[in-house]
Structure 1
Amino acid sequence: MSDPFMPDKGSKGFSRRGFIARTSSIIGAVAVAGGAAATTARAAVATSATAAPIDSGAHVPVLIIGTGYGGSVAALRLAQAGVDVHMIEMGMAWDTPGSDGKIFANTTRPDYRSFWLRTRTKAPISNFLGFPIDKDVPRYTGILDAEEFNGITVYQGRGVGGGSLVNGGMAVTPKRERFGAVLPSVDADEMYDVYYPRANAGLGVTNVDQAWWETAPCYQYARVGRKHAQRSGFPFVFVPNVYDWEYMKQEEAGTVPRSSLDGEVLYGNNYGKKSVQKTYIAQAKATGRVSISPQHKVTSVAPATGGGYTVSIDQINTTGDTTATKTVTADRVFFAAGSVGTSKLLVRLKATGRLPLLNDEVGKGWGDNGNVMCGRANHIWDATGKLQASMPTAGIDNWDAGGAFAEVAPLPTGIETYASLYLSITKNPHRAEFSWNAATGNVDLNWQRAWKQPAIDMAKSIFDKINSKEGTIYRSDLFGGNKVWGDHLTYHPLGGAVLDKATDNYGRLHGYSGLYVIDGSLIPGNTSVNPFVTITALAERNIEKIIATDL
Structure 2
Amino acid sequence: MSLALPRTPDLTRRHFLGATALQAAAAAGLTTVSAPASAADRGAAAGDSFPAVVVGSGYGASVAALRLGEAGVTTLVLEMGRLWEEPAADGKVFCGMLNPDRRSMWFKDRTEAPLDTLLWLDVVNRPIDRYPGALDRVNFEEMSVYVGRGVGGGSLVNGGMAVTPARSHFEKVLPGVDADEMYRTYFPRARAMLGVNSVDPDWFGSTPYYRYARVARDQAHQAGLTTAYVPNVYDFGYMEREERGDVAASALASEVIYGNNHGKRSLDKTYLAAALGTGKVTLRTMSEVESVRPEPGGGYVLAVKEIDVNGSVVSRSEVSCRYLFLGAGSLGTTELLLRARESGALPGLGEELGTGWGPNGNIMTGRANHPWNPTGARQSAIPVLAIDDWNHPTHPVFAEIAPVPAGIETGISLYLAITDNPERGTFELDPASGKLRLNWRRGQNAPAVASAKSLFDRVNRANGTSYRYDLFGDDRAFAGDFCYHPLGGCPLGAATDAYGRLPGHPGLYAVDSSLIPGSIGVNPFVTITALAERNIARVLAEDVTTGR
TM over 0.5: yes
Residue 307, structure 1, aligned to residue 298, structure 2: yes
1:94 alignment partner, one of 49, 69, 84 = 84
Q: Does the aligned pair in 2 maintain the 1:56–1:327 contact within 8 Å? A: no
| Contiguous gaps of at least 5 residues in structure 2 | 1-14, 34-44
1:490 alignment partner, one of 468, 483, 487 = 483
Match of 2:176 in 1: 185
Instruction: Note the alpha carbon deviations across 1:273-298, whole angstroms, 9 max, x for none.
Output: 10011000011111111111000000
Does the C-alpha gap of structure 1 residues 52 and 126 become closer, same or farther in structure 2, counting only changes over 3 Å? Answer: closer
* Distance in 1 of aligned mates of 2:414 and 2:506: 47
Match of 2:451 in 1: 458
Q: Which amino acid aligns with 1:90?
A: M
Residue 46 of structure 1, CA deviation: 6.5
* Distance in 2 of aligned mates of 1:48 and 1:430: 46
1:104-143 maps to which residues of 2 (within 5 A)?
104-132=94-122, 133-143=124-134
Q: Does the aligned pair in 2 maintain the 1:49–1:292 contact within 8 Å? A: no
1:392-407 maps to which residues of 2 (within 5 A)?
392-401=383-392, 402-407=395-400
1:527 alignment partner, one of 492, 517, 520 = 520
Does the C-alpha gap of structure 1 residues 252 and 450 become closer, same or farther in structure 2, counting only changes over 3 Å? Answer: same
Q: Does the aligned pair in 2 maintain the 1:301–1:311 contact within 8 Å? A: yes
* Partner SS state of residue 500, structure 1: coil
Residue 44 of structure 1, CA deviation: 13
Q: Which amino acid aligns with 2:528?
A: I
Residue 545, structure 1, aligned to residue 538, structure 2: yes
* Partner SS state of residue 454, structure 2: helix
1:195-274 maps to which residues of 2 (within 5 A)?
195-274=186-265
Does the C-alpha gap of structure 1 residues 407 and 543 become closer, same or farther in structure 2, counting only changes over 3 Å? Answer: same
Match of 1:13 in 2: none
Residue 121 of structure 1, CA deviation: 1.2
* Distance in 1 of aligned mates of 2:349 and 2:513: 18
Q: Which amino acid aligns with 2:489?
A: G
* Partner SS state of residue 23, structure 2: coil
Q: Does the aligned pair in 2 maintain the 1:335–1:342 contact within 8 Å? A: yes
Q: Does the aligned pair in 1 maintain the 2:354–2:427 contact within 8 Å? A: yes
Does the C-alpha gap of structure 1 residues 110 and 46 become closer, same or farther in structure 2, counting only changes over 3 Å? Answer: farther
Match of 1:350 in 2: 341
Match of 1:83 in 2: 73
* Distance in 2 of aligned mates of 1:420 and 1:260: 18
Residue 56 of structure 1, CA deviation: 10
* Partner SS state of residue 96, structure 1: coil
* Distance in 2 of aligned mates of 1:327 and 1:474: 53
Match of 1:153 in 2: 144
- In terms of mean alpha carbon deviation, does 131-140 or 329-338 score higher? 131-140
1:325 alignment partner, one of 316, 331, 336 = 316
Match of 2:472 in 1: 479
2:431 alignment partner, one of 430, 434, 438 = 438
Residue 182 of structure 1, CA deviation: 2.1
* Distance in 2 of aligned mates of 1:46 and 1:229: 44
Q: Which amino acid aligns with 1:433?
A: T
TM-score by length of 1: 0.90
Aligned length in residues: 511
Match of 2:52 in 1: 62
Q: Which amino acid aligns with 2:365?
A: C
Instruction: Note the alpha carbon deviations across 1:236-290, whole angstroms, 9 max, x for none.
Output: 1111001111110110001111100001001000010100110000111111111
Q: Does the aligned pair in 2 maintain the 1:45–1:95 contact within 8 Å? A: no
* Distance in 1 of aligned mates of 2:290 and 2:479: 33
* Distance in 2 of aligned mates of 1:307 and 1:174: 38
1:293-304 maps to which residues of 2 (within 5 A)?
293-304=284-295
Q: Does the aligned pair in 2 maintain the 1:45–1:97 contact within 8 Å? A: no
Match of 2:5 in 1: none
* Distance in 2 of aligned mates of 1:356 and 1:81: 30
Instruction: Note the alpha carbon deviations across 1:26-83, whole angstroms, 9 max, x for none.
Output: xxxxxxxxxxxxx99xx99963568654999511000000000000001111111111
2:414 alignment partner, one of 406, 411, 421 = 421
* Distance in 1 of aligned mates of 2:81 and 2:334: 18
Structure 1 segments (4+ residues) deviating >4 Å: 43-46, 48-52, 54-57
* Partner SS state of residue 189, structure 1: helix
* Distance in 1 of aligned mates of 2:471 and 2:328: 31
Q: Does the aligned pair in 2 maintain the 1:44–1:270 contact within 8 Å? A: no
TM-score by length of 2: 0.91
Q: Does the aligned pair in 2 maintain the 1:229–1:235 contact within 8 Å? A: yes
Q: Does the aligned pair in 2 maintain the 1:475–1:484 contact within 8 Å? A: yes
* Partner SS state of residue 220, structure 1: helix
Does the C-alpha gap of structure 1 residues 48 and 342 become closer, same or farther in structure 2, counting only changes over 3 Å? Answer: farther
Match of 1:506 in 2: 499
Residue 169, structure 1, aligned to residue 145, structure 2: no
Residue 366 of structure 1, CA deviation: 0.4
1:21-40 maps to which residues of 2 (within 5 A)?
none
* Distance in 2 of aligned mates of 1:47 and 1:380: 47
Q: Which amino acid aligns with 1:77?
A: R
Residue 544 of structure 1, CA deviation: 0.4
* Partner SS state of residue 156, structure 1: strand
* Partner SS state of residue 478, structure 2: coil
* Distance in 1 of aligned mates of 2:303 and 2:46: 9
| Contiguous gaps of at least 5 residues in structure 1 | 1-38
- In terms of mean alpha carbon deviation, does 54-63 or 251-260 score higher? 54-63
* Partner SS state of residue 126, structure 1: coil
Residue 47, structure 1, aligned to residue 20, structure 2: no
* Distance in 2 of aligned mates of 1:244 and 1:499: 33
* Distance in 2 of aligned mates of 1:345 and 1:61: 20
Q: Which amino acid aligns with 2:279?
A: G
Instruction: Note the alpha carbon deviations across 1:194-243, whole angstroms, 9 max, x for none.
Output: 00000000100011111111111111111111101111011111110011
* Distance in 1 of aligned mates of 2:200 and 2:456: 28
Residue 275, structure 1, aligned to residue 251, structure 2: no
Q: Which amino acid aligns with 2:311?
A: G
* Distance in 2 of aligned mates of 1:326 and 1:367: 34
Q: Does the aligned pair in 1 maintain the 2:377–2:405 contact within 8 Å? A: yes
* Distance in 2 of aligned mates of 1:211 and 1:48: 40
Q: Which amino acid aligns with 1:256?
A: V
Does the C-alpha gap of structure 1 residues 45 and 260 become closer, same or farther in structure 2, counting only changes over 3 Å? Answer: farther
* Partner SS state of residue 299, structure 1: strand
* Distance in 2 of aligned mates of 1:112 and 1:178: 40
Q: Percent identity?
A: 50
1:351-370 maps to which residues of 2 (within 5 A)?
351-370=342-361
